[in-house]
Amino acid sequence: MEIKDLEAKIDELILLLDEVEHKQAMMAAERSSWQIERSRLLEKNELAKNKVEAMIMRLKALDQDSQADG
């Protein structure tokens, strides 16, 4: 293999490395975005769960009050 061929291969490898690094950076940013979204959804889920539990407790209290009155 001649030096020109080696130089061409090295240039090709450098371009491929740049592409891989770019893709890796994009994937890291996307991963971070997904983690933020996941945290936000978990927080919303916990809030909804707490609201539903509070509603159930109020309904049970109303049921007990109505049974006590009846």
pLDDT digits (tens, 9 = 90+) for 32-63: 999 999 999 999 999 999 999 999 999 999 98
pTM comes to 0.65
Dump pLDDT digits (tens) for 8-37: 999 999 999 999 999 999 999 999 999 999
For residue 66, pLDDT beyond 90: no
Residue environment code for 35-56, b if the CB has 16+ CB neighbours within 10 A, otherwise e: eeeeeeeeeeeeeeeeeeeeee
